[in-house]
Amino acid sequence: MLRPPALNFALNFALGAALAAFGLAVLSPGLLNDGDTYWHIRAGEWMIAHRAVLRADVFSYTVAGAPWHTQEWLAEIAMALGWRSGWSGIHLLFAAAAALTAGVTAWFVRRRVDFVPALLAVVLGLSCVTGSLLARPHMLALPLLAIWTVGLAQAREKNESPSCWLIAVMPLWANLHGSFAFGLALAGALAVEAVIEDRKAALGWAVFLLGATLSCLATPYGIAGLEFPFKLSAMRALDHISEWQASDFSHISPFVISLFVTLFVMSSGRLRVPAFRLAVLLGVVWMALAHGRHQMLLGVTAPILLAPSLANAWPAKNGITKAWLLPLLAAGFAALILVRLTLPVARTDDPVSPVTAMAHVPRFVRETPVLNDYSFGGYLIWDGLKPFIDSRADLYGDIFLQNYAAITAPDKDALAATLTFYHVRWTIFNKDAAVVKLLDATPGWHRFYADKLAVVHVHD
C-alpha cells in the first residue's frame, strides 16, 4: 500500500504532465492542420440540427446519398459544440483531451517509478502522440485509451480480472472512435498473459472480455459498428493515404528518438520485461511501424505497460509535495485558458485550407462539379461546396480511391475519363500536385488562378 505522500507527489507529477500537454495543444497552430477537422464539425452541426445520426452522405456530389458509417458521431457532436466558441473552443476541447491523457498516464507511472525514469518514460511515450496532435476524433478517444490501459495494468498487478466498472469505458469509446477495437485486442492480449501465469484467471478475464465486447454494440450501428474498424483496415486503397503508410525513418522524429532511447535502456540489462509483456509491446511497435497513425497507441500504452518493470529497476521515492505547487499548477491552467480565449485564431492559407484561391473562384463556377485535391476536400465542405473527394475513405471505397490515385499519378486517360463522366467544369489542386502540369496541357482547360498554395483550372 502506497503512503499518502506517494499519492501527493504522483498527483503533482500528473498535473505537471497534464499542464504541459494542455499548453502544447492549446497554443499549437498545428492542431488545426488537418482537413478532416472541417467536415467533422459540419457533420456534428448537421446531427445537432436534425437530432439524428448521419447515415448517408450529404456532403459530396460523387457519392451523394450513399450509406455512410459515422463511427465517430459523438466526437463530431462534441466538436460542433466546441466550435460554438470558435477555433479557440476547438483548441480548448482537444487540449483538455491531451491533458487528461497525459495526466492519467503520468499518474500511473509516477506512483510506481522514481522521478527521472518516470519523466523519461512519460515524455518519450507521449512525444509519440505529437504527430497525431490534430483536432480529430482520435484525440478525444485517447483519454479513454489511457484509462482503459491503466485499468488492465492494475488488474494484472493484483493478479485479478479487471473491474466490471472498466467496461463502462467501452460504449463511450465505441461511439467516439474506431480505436476501441485496439482496446479490445489489448485486453485480450493481457488476458492471455494472465492465463499463462494462472489458469484460474481464465474465467474472470473471459467474463470481462465478453462484457466489454457486448458493450461495444451500444452504438447506432450495433454489430456493424463492431465490424467497421476491421473492414476499414482491410481496404487496399489506404496505402495511398499518408497516415496509413509505414512510419518514416528518413528524418529524426519523436517516434524514432523514443525507439532508440528505449532500445538503449533495455540493452543496459537493468530493465527486465517479462517475455509475454515484451511480445505485447513489440506487437504495438509493429503496428506503429506499419502505419504511422498507430504511433499514438504505442505512445500511450507503452509507459503504462512498462511501468511494473521500470518500478523493479527504479522504485518510486518521495517527490515534491509542497502545498504551493497545486495552486501554481491551477494558475497555469487558468492562464493558458485566458490566453487562448483572448488571442483569436485566424484561419488563413495552409496545406489543407486554400482560403485565398477559393475566394477568387466566382459563384457561377463554384456551383458546377469540381475535381479537387484530396487534402482540400474538407475545406470545400466547410465552404459550402460539394467536393469530388475528401478524406472519408470508407465512404468512397477502394475502386473510387484507386481511380483517384490514377488521376493524380497522373494518368492521362483516367483524368480524361473522369472529367467527362462527372461533367467536371473546374479543378483545384495543390500547386505541387503532378496532375497540375497535365491539366495545363489538356485541351479545353486553362489556369484560372494560381498562388503559393493552390492552382485552379477552369473548362473553356
Contact 12, 329 (CB under 8 A): yes
Q: Is 299 exposed, middle or buried (0-12, 13-18, 19+ CB in 10 A)?
A: buried
Q: What is the pLDDT, as a whole number, of residue 3?
A: 45
pLDDT value at residue 237: 81
Cα–Cα distance measured from residue 140 to residue 92, given in angstroms and rounded to the nearest whole number: 12
By CB atoms closer than 10 A (0-12, 13-18, 19+), residue 185 is middle
Out of 55-69, 181-195, 242-256, 356-370, least confident range: 242-256
The 10 Å Cβ neighbour count of residue 9 is 20
Phi-psi region of 67 (alpha: psi -120 to 50; beta: other; left: phi over 0): beta
- Predicted pLDDT at 321: 64
Tell me: pLDDT of 39 over 70: yes
Which pLDDT value is given to residue 316? 87
CA dihedral 213, 219, 224, 226 (to 10 degrees): -30
C-alpha cell at 62: 460523387
CA-to-CA distance for 152 and 194, rounded, in angstroms? 11
User: pLDDT exceeding 90 applies to what percent of the chain?
Assistant: 84
Return the H-helix or E-strand segment holding 123.
helix 115-127
Distance CA 420, CA 417 (A): 5
Residue 409's pLDDT is 93
Tell me which DSSP letter residue 62 carries. S
pTM of the model: 0.93
**Per residue in 203-229, pLDDT tens?**
999 999 999 999 999 999 999 999 988
pLDDT grade, residue 446 (50/70/90)?
very high
- Over residues 230-272, the pLDDT tens digits come to 888 888 888 778 888 888 888 888 999 999 998 898 888 888 9
At CA 175, angle to CA 388 and CA 294, rounded to 5?
70
Exposed e or buried b per residue across 322-345, where buried means at least 16 C-beta atoms within 10 angstroms of its C-beta: eeebeeebeebbeebbeebeeeee
Is the pLDDT confidence value at 100 over 70?
yes
Give the mean model confidence (pLDDT) for residues 384-397: 95
Q: What's the rounded mean pLDDT across residues 178-183?
A: 96
pLDDT at position 283 is: 96
Q: 326-363 pLDDT, tens per residue?
A: 889 999 999 999 999 998 888 899 999 999 999 999 99
- Report the pLDDT value the prediction gives residue 239, as an integer from 0 to 100: 79
What cell numbers appear for 205 in the block? 478475464
pLDDT tier, 320 (very low <50, low <70, confident <90, very high otherwise): low
Q: What is the pLDDT of residues 281-314, one digit of tens each?
A: 999 999 999 999 999 999 999 999 999 999 999 9
Give the chain's radius of gyration (CA, Å).
24
**229/221 Cα distance (integer angstroms):** 12
Q: What residues contact residue 155 under an 8 Å CB cut-off, 6+ apart?
A: 161, 162, 163, 190, 194
CA-based nearest residue to 300, from 121, 424, 172, 438:
121
Cell 459540419, located at residue: 42
Give the residue with greater pLDDT, 81 vs 327: 81
Looking at every residue in the chain, the average pLDDT score rounds to 93
Say what the pLDDT of residue 1 is.
39
Q: Is the pLDDT of residue 322 over 90?
A: no
